[in-house]
Amino acid sequence: MSEALTDKALAAAHAQLAGTAKGSASVRAFFDPATSTISYVVHDPATMRGAVIDSVLDFEAASGRTSTASAEAIVAYVQGAGIAIDWLLETHAHADHLSAAPWLAKIVGGTIAIGEHIRDVQRVFGDIFNAGAEFRRDGSDFGRLFADGERFAIGDLPVTVLHVPGHTPACVAYVVGDVVFVGDTMFMPDYGSARADFPGGDAAQLFRSLRRILDLPAETPLFMCHDYLTAEREEHRWEATVGEQRAGNVHARDGISEDEFVARRRARDAGLAMPTLLLPAVQVNMRAGRLPPAEANGVAYLKIPVDRL
């Protein structure tokens, strides 16, 4: 990602936020307690066109069974409100939940989309899971791949895509109208930032991505993809302004240098266990939320690479 491209993309996001009427995007959050994930439906009230961001397919690791209760709640809301879904947006290839995007596409429609650097994730994890020749590492499982600074629309709402790597190579934030969906890059101020120790992760890149988001106007609302409770907080929250993050983010607030951030992030990551659903989630999500192809007996199987990670 060149400096010129970075500046151009960020300038586009600033121009969009400055030129969009406040309150133009309507946002509804759906919290999944099993994975602490927040999925969103964002829509344009003027046209009733919308997008689903970071949907969850329920998965029971002990039995290997999937279910769609979380996604059904989204469908009920969308259909009840009369919202037409054009996009099923992923902020990255999640390691803590399976995406329900393909199931939602069958029910409410929409193009499944992600950042173009999903190809990097597919190459790395395609090898880790020994996915074979059938697995395409070119991003073509997704209906649309977004470049840094690319623009599209949800109804009349302008959208700018910001590439924000560090947690994974493919992470993006979506600037939708007057709000921003930051994925796992940033958490609530009292929890800080995402880990950066997965294959392809990079703490220095993550710091620069955080600061890129924090360069947006102070009043801009940011919506998180996850929330984890702290010792001082008993209720889940998932919205904070850029100004609140700059003043209080425990990992990346104003005054914390890149070197300080990297040292703290690496020390914290060294003590973290792997997410419970990392192995099933990544090999599904790198396929745009689709299970691996069924074998001769008609059953799809997920792999567990032994002593690989």
**Per-residue pLDDT tens over the stretch 153-188:** 999 999 999 999 999 999 999 999 999 999 999 999
Share of the chain above pLDDT 70, in %: 98
| Bridge partners of residue 181, in order along the sequence | 174, 223
Which DSSP letter does residue 228 get? -
Q: Residue 283: is its pLDDT beyond 80?
A: yes
Helix axes 69-81, 101-108, angle to 10 degrees: 30
* Tokens found for residue 243: 């100004």
40-90 pLDDT, tens digit each: 999 999 999 999 999 999 999 999 999 999 999 999 999 999 999 999 999
The band of 308, judged by pLDDT with boundaries at 50, 70 and 90, is confident
CATH fold of 3-285: Metallo-beta-lactamase; Chain A (3.60.15)
Q: What is the pLDDT of residue 301?
A: 94
The band of 1, judged by pLDDT with boundaries at 50, 70 and 90, is very low
Domain positions in the chain are 3-285
For 33-57, letters b (16+ CB in 10 Å) and e give eebbbbbbbbbbbeeebbbbbbbbb
* Tokens found for residue 7: 């500046």
Q: What is the pLDDT of residue 3?
A: 45
Distance in angstroms (rounded) separating the CA atoms of residues 239 and 117 = 26
Amino acid at 226: H
Q: What is the pLDDT of residue 21?
A: 86
Distance in angstroms (rounded) separating the CA atoms of residues 23 and 15 = 16
Q: What is the pLDDT of residue 4?
A: 45
219-260 pLDDT, tens digit each: 999 999 999 999 889 999 999 999 999 999 999 999 999 999
The band of 191, judged by pLDDT with boundaries at 50, 70 and 90, is very high
